[in-house]
Amino acid sequence: MDFPKQFDVIVIGGGHAGTEAALASARMGVKTLLLTHNIETLGMMSCNPAIGGIGKSHLVKEVDALGGAMAKATDLAGIQFRILNARKGPAVRATRAQADRALYKAAIRTILENQENLWIFQQAADDLVVDESTSQVRGVVTNMGVRFLAPNVVLTAGTFLGGKIHIGLESHSGGRAGDPPSIALANRLRELPLDVQRLKTGTPARIDARSVDFSVMEAQPGDTPIPVMSFLGSVDQHPEQVSCYITHTNERTHEIIRGGLDRSPMFTGVIEGVGPRYCPSIEDKITRFADKNSHQVFLEPEGLSTHELYPNGISTSLPFDVQINLIHSIRGLENAHITRPGYAIEYDFFDPRGLKYSLETKSIGGLFFAGQINGTTGYEEAAAQGLLAGMNAALRAQDKESWCPRRDEAYIGVLVDDLITNGTSEPYRMFTSRAEYRLILREDNADLRLTEKGRELGLVDDERWAAFTNKKERIERESERLRGAFIHPGSSAATVLENKLSRPISREYSLLELLRRPELTYNDVAGLVGDAETQSQVAEQVEIQTKYQGYIDRQKEEIDRMRRYENTRIPEALDYSLIEGLSNELKQKLGDARPETLGRASRIQGMTPAAVSLLLVYMKKRS
């Protein structure tokens, strides 16, 4: 049965990738269908109820700068906000919010249901319609046999493809606890020319807060003033704020875990997929860091209207009896009631080297992949890819050229470039250390880096655009004002400064010059002459841009140097085996990855500057 409407873009899956993909496509004026298993689970957080953190908040703010939903929903659902690395430089500062799971889901659903050009349909996608003669996708068939037609399909099936849940040596099929897996679709995808592999991830048991002794734990309140996530967000939008609590595993906990390893699916070889290195299970941690006799456990509230707690740090797939004992061995959790067991899940993912930078698959025209199925882990990584894939699917529907930010423009660019160039053999998560231009790619300036482009692409609405242009003008005006306002020796303002610096002010200084001094902040100098800026986002920008100007300029020069060859295109049919002097390993890697540009080739693991020049010389000779 054909559905009466023809769509331009169909998005399969209503998780973090799918919702941003559908919203981006619809925002661009393209007729979009979001087809998902269950409308009640739109925007559901499968694992920890938190958004942001180091490297991840950079992605969230970039998604926000491009008009996405994740940061807005976080402001409406965040129950504890913190700035991580607050004492370090602005490049690595990151916002993290504990989110009320139910409020987050509700916020995402409201945004989706009020988005023009977006239709939602609840049903499993079981099949893809592919025109084999042209290798183009044509639509999707649901498990009820309904055919939805569209020339562009974005697949964001998360951990559901061939999903297998493990608790101890028992296993069953599942997409995540409580949800069915996608078996039919997984089988169909295995028939297509795509490179399918397996990964795994895990989650801890959940605990009833009424059975926890918080008096023996350290409380961790959020920051004051309370941060916000979205560039359009405000503190008044936040619900009630609560604390998290910290406790620790101990020798006894580790003994219990070691005693259960013979029934661990990971350690007995039952699970074949590789797990997330940076979010390891507790059994992984005590084995890998055998000399540590304690690990931190953060008890994070799942929401304001529930007693459930998420014990962050003890993700596990050990048998349930071991889970109970290990939790009861932890201080304050001696009588804890477990509401849901922890588990691991194995699922299909596709080698991301099979993707173009638009996230369209190389082998099937119009088929885009985003989120966990590309080998990543995390809501933020999924949202970033979702937005990009949805946007590029919409561009394709409009017959326009695709777009992806470069590595020096956005963490989204770093993420996509890393994935499609090097692939991944373990769940990939974002870190600031993955970006070479960290000082330029800060979370605080994501809007200044991307909102103009987002507006041009049709992703940014009038409200965001007005707020952005106003902010930009105010930054310029305030920087000018500081440049033109002077402190004179002997003035009362100079005396205030002398007290602060314990040094005499011997000559005339502009406020901008003073702000460059490491010991002075914007608040110290801006009001000495005239009125300081009242908008905190503007003041923050002026301060960072002034203090780090020298470093930022140097990084920009480096980017210009790199860009000269970054965009040099490599012919698609280039035969790498003919390049003399290149190692067989690199010939093979380049042949597999088929990088589109010299910049991408240079980032393939093992590529040295010498190998890049060999490639460049060969290309010049050939042309």
Q: Within 10 Å of residue 448's Cβ, how many Cβ atoms?
A: 17
Q: Is 60 in the site for ligand FAD (CB under 6 A)?
A: no
Instruction: Give the footprint of ligand FAD on residues 334-373 (CB under 6 A).
Output: 345, 371-372
CB of 334 to ligand FAD, least distance (A): 26
Compare residues 176 and 254 and give the one whose CB is closer to ligand FAD.
Answer: 176
* Residue 271 labelled as part of a binding site: no
139 is an annotated ligand-binding site residue: no
Q: Which of 378, 390, 413, 454 binds ligand FAD (CB under 6 A)?
A: 378
**Contact assessment for residue 56 and residue 92, using Cβ atoms and an 8 Å cutoff:** no
Q: Is 254 in the site for ligand FAD (CB under 6 A)?
A: no
- Give me the least distance between CB of 216 and ligand FAD, in Å please: 26
Q: Which stretch binds ligand FAD (CB under 6 A): 75-83, 154-162, 293-301, 584-592?
A: 154-162
14 annotated among ligand-binding-site residues: yes
Q: Show the tokens assigned to 270.
A: 């039952």
Please tell me whether 18 is known to bind a ligand: yes
Nearer to ligand FAD, 52 or 454 (CB): 52
Query: Can residue 424 be called a binding residue for ligand FAD (CB under 6 A)?
Result: no
To the question of whether residue 16 is assigned a binding role by annotation, the answer is yes
- The answer to whether the annotation marks 390 as part of a ligand binding site is no
411-422 vs 584-593: helix axis angle to the nearest 10? 120
Q: Which H/E stretch holds residue 582?
A: none
Dump the DSSP string for 296-358: EEEEEE--SS--EEEEET----S-HHHHHHHHHTSTT-TTPEEEE--EEEEEEEE-GGGB-TT
> Which residues lie closer than 8 Å to 473 by C-beta, 6 or more apart?
none
Pair of tokens at residue 119: 């239709």
381-420 positions binding ligand FAD, by CB under 6 A: 382
* Interactions with ligand FAD, residue window 202-241 (CB under 6 A): 202-203
User: Is position 15 annotated in a ligand binding site?
Assistant: yes
Distances (CA, A) of 290 to 68, 253, 298, 324: 42, 13, 21, 22
Please check if 65 is assigned to a binding site.
Answer: no
Q: How far is the CB of 68 from ligand FAD (least distance, A)?
A: 13
Residues with Cβ within 8 Å of 10's Cβ and at least 6 positions away in sequence, in order, are 32, 33, 35, 139, 140, 148, 150, 152, 153, 154
Smaller CB distance to ligand FAD: residue 80 or 159?
159
**Rounded least distance, CB 130 to ligand FAD, Å:** 15
157 is annotated as contributing to ligand binding: no
Is 35 among the residues that bind ligand FAD (CB under 6 A)?
yes
Instruction: Give the nearer residue to ligand FAD in terms of CB position, either 384 or 582.
Output: 384
Instruction: Identify whether the C-beta of residue 404 lies closer than 8 Å to the C-beta of residue 457.
Output: no
Q: Are 233 and 95 in contact (CB under 8 A)?
A: no
Closest CB 521 distance from ligand FAD, rounded Å: 34
Our finding on whether 47 is near ligand FAD (CB under 6 A) is yes
The yes or no reply on residue 317 touching ligand FAD (CB under 6 A) is no
Interface map 123-142 toward ligand FAD (x if CB under 6 A): -xx-----------------
Choice from 57, 115, 117, 156 touching ligand FAD (CB under 6 A): 156
Distance CA 257, CA 482 (A): 60
Contact between 74 and ligand FAD per CB under 6 A: no
**CA 246, CA 216: separation in Å to the nearest integer?**
9
Tokens of 316: 């596990």
Q: Is the peptide bond before 225 cis (omega within 30 degrees of 0)?
A: yes
Say if residue 287 carries a ligand binding annotation: yes
9, 12, 318, 367: residue in contact with ligand FAD (rule CB under 6 A): 12
Candidate ranges 70-78, 112-120, 158-166, 285-293; the one touching ligand FAD (CB under 6 A):
158-166
Would you count residue 105 as binding ligand FAD (CB under 6 A)?
A: no
Answer for which of 115, 201, 329, 432 binds ligand FAD (CB under 6 A) is 201
Q: Is 550 left (phi over 0), alpha (psi -120 to 50) or beta?
A: alpha
Does residue 285 have a known ligand-binding role?
yes
Query: Does 279 sit near ligand FAD (CB under 6 A)?
Result: yes
Give the separation between CA 226 and CA 234, rounded to whole angstroms.
9
The answer to whether 446 and 410 have CB atoms below 8 angstroms apart is yes
Confirm or reject binding of residue 69 to ligand FAD (CB under 6 A).
Answer: no
Among 377, 421, 424, 602, binds ligand FAD (CB under 6 A): 377
Closest CA to 487 of 479, 496, 478: 496
357 is in an annotated binding site: no
- Applying CB under 6 A, which of residues 46, 115, 264, 445 lies at the interface with ligand FAD? 46
Which contacts (CB < 8 Å, 24+ apart) does range 529-532 have?
Answer: 529/485, 529/486, 529/487, 529/493, 530/481, 530/485
Is position 282 an interface residue for ligand FAD (rule: CB under 6 A)? Answer: no
Per DSSP, what are the bridge partners of residue 120?
Answer: 34
From 160, 298, 369, 437, residue interacting with ligand FAD (rule: CB under 6 A): 160
**Does 14 contact ligand FAD by CB under 6 A?**
yes
Q: Which stretch binds ligand FAD (CB under 6 A): 259-267, 378-386, 448-456, 607-615?
A: 378-386
- Compute the distance between CA of residue 203 and CA of residue 337 in angstroms, rounded to an integer: 17
**Distance from C-alpha of 316 to C-alpha of 253, rounded to nearest angstrom:** 13
d(C-alpha 258, C-alpha 94), whole Å:
35
Q: Which is nearer to ligand FAD, 27 or 481 (CB)?
A: 27
Bridge partners for 127 per DSSP: 141
Q: Say whether residue 316 binds ligand FAD (CB under 6 A).
A: no
Task: Find how far residue 112's CA is from the centre of its chain.
Answer: 20
Closer by beta carbon to ligand FAD, 18 or else 265: 18
- The residue range among 30-38, 96-104, 316-324, 566-574 that interacts with ligand FAD, by the rule CB under 6 A, is 30-38
Q: Which stretch binds ligand FAD (CB under 6 A): 197-205, 329-337, 351-359, 528-536?
A: 197-205
Smallest separation (angstroms) from ligand FAD to the CB of 276: 6
Calpha distance 522→512 (Å, rounded): 9
Shortest distance, position 191 Cβ to ligand FAD, whole Å:
15
89 in a labelled binding site: no
DSSP summary character for residue 69: S
| Sole binder of ligand FAD in the list 11, 18, 27, 300 (CB under 6 A) | 18
> 272 vs 164, 323, 380, 426, CA distance in Å?
11, 21, 26, 12
Task: List, as one string, the DSSP characters of 343-411.
Answer: EEEEEEEE-GGGB-TTSBBSSSBTEEE-GGGGTB-SHHHHHHHHHHHHHHHHHHHTT-------TTT-H
What token pair was written down for 478? 């305030």
3-state secondary structure of 581: coil
* DSSP 8-state code for residue 623: -
Per the annotation, binding residues for NAD(+) are 275-289
Residues within the interface to ligand FAD (CB under 6 A): 12-18, 35-38, 41, 46-47, 124-125, 156-160, 175-176, 179, 182, 185, 201-203, 276, 279, 315, 345, 371-372, 377-379, 382
Per the annotation, binding residues are 13-18, 275-289
